Amino acid sequence: MLKNKATEEKVDTLLSKSQIPIIDLAHCGTEECPIRSVVNRVGHQLHKALSEKGIALLVNHGISEDKMKQVYGHLDDFCKLSDNTKETYLRKGETNHGYIKPGQERFDGKSKDIRHTFNICTLKPDGGPLPDEPLPGFRDHVSDLATDFKRLSALLLQALAVGMELPYGYFLEKHRHILDGEGENQSTFRLLYYPPLIEDDGKNELLRGTCKYSQQRCTKDEIDLSLPEDYRAKVREQQEQEEQELQQITRCGAHCDYGTFTLLAQDSEGGLEVKLPGTDRWKRVGHLPGAILINAGELLSTWTGEKISALQHRVIIPQEETIRTRGRHSLAFFVHPDNCISIAPIDLPASSSSNSLDSDEKKTKGRKKSFKTAKSKIYNAYQHVQRRFKETYAS
């Protein structure tokens, strides 16, 4: 047993192998006017990280850990409310604001995502309903934390422009209405709780509040070869069936985020895996306490002509006993452009190393060709995200 536990604790991750960029924000993340020299440095580091990996970890970002724990506590209290109460706050129709029950989302089109989610799309007092009556302080504490994430996003949008050699306010102008409401912008502050997987009378159960999902578990990892062949065949068939059923349940199915970029804070290791650009293998990210993860989304990939790839990621049910039996909290801030912003590849500054006439002619022809291609595919930010929502909630 001790050997198994030790084995479970040792998990190779991108973090443990120093394969994920770490960017120091020098405590400027929540400043309304961040230091220009910090923005410039972060810009070059961020552009390099997202271009090569599609992901980075941000440290010394300035967002209080206590504020995040306070909001995790509010989400726990919400999950303990009765089903009837929770359902009064359900996400409905084309609006993204509100509560999403476990199993309601299917990012890969088939696997049910087992998690509790609450989306906040505006900080305005007359915005979507929040559970202030059963949970006093919910709105104030969530709004305070969401404001910090909004300010951090503003710094990163400026940094991205610097890193891409664009005007300082290029991306800020396209994201002026973050959290002003879904009529203006689809950015969303999302609270997430992933229930633990615990054993009970030979079963694995996912429990939180009144939500319960069960999955049979084989009591042996190997088949006893001393048993009759027909019995062994039945055991193998049962194992295969259980494996197929287990694959229909996940913490979060494989997908790319829809917007510009996503900021993710999490309270513990929870099975987050990614496919780095140009690779086909899933890699566990690992957990750096206090850090906030940033990953590129589909619209940033389109803007950069796919020079920055949207990061494919998922959250698996971990095999490690010490991880799977704990619940996991996270906060995701999905940063989107304003609804009316047209999405087409940006004509990025040419590299200073290409000075020949022949090179210039090739680039001119290339720009004309990509403009013709882009012109037939131009759409706005709202159209893109609504199409993705329909795919996610189609079932």
Structural domains for the chain: 13-200+248-346+379-391 (2.60.120.330)
pTM: 0.80
Name which of 30, 19, 11 is nearest 292 in CA terms: 30
DSSP letter for 216, please: E
Quote the pLDDT of residue 180. Answer: 95
Neighbours of 124 (CB within 10 A): 11
Quote the pLDDT of residue 328. Answer: 87
Residue 323 near residue 7 (C-beta atoms within 8 A): no
For CA atoms 361, 362, 367, 370, the dihedral sign is positive
How many Å apart are CA 54 and CA 283, to the nearest integer? 13
In the chain, the amino acid numbered 32 is: E
How many Å apart are CA 62 and CA 70, to the nearest integer? 16
Quote the pLDDT of residue 61. Answer: 97
How many Å apart are CA 197 and CA 246, to the nearest integer? 12
Strand runs labelled E in the chain: 22-24, 55-59, 98-100, 112-113, 116-120, 188-194, 197-200, 203-208, 211-216, 249-250, 252-256, 261-266, 272-275, 283-284, 292-296, 312-315, 328-335, 342-343, 379-380
Helices H, strands E: what count in the chain? Answer: 11, 19
- Show pLDDT as tens, one digit a residue, over the chain (395 residues): 344 444 445 678 999 999 999 999 999 999 988 899 999 999 999 999 999 999 999 999 999 999 999 999 999 999 999 999 999 999 988 789 999 988 776 665 556 667 899 999 998 888 789 999 999 999 999 999 999 999 999 999 999 999 999 999 999 999 999 999 999 999 999 999 988 876 554 444 444 433 443 333 333 445 455 567 777 677 677 766 655 554 545 667 788 999 999 999 999 887 899 999 999 999 999 999 999 999 999 999 999 999 999 999 898 877 777 777 888 899 999 999 999 999 999 887 765 333 333 444 444 444 444 444 444 456 899 999 888 888 876 65
In the chain, the amino acid numbered 294 is: I
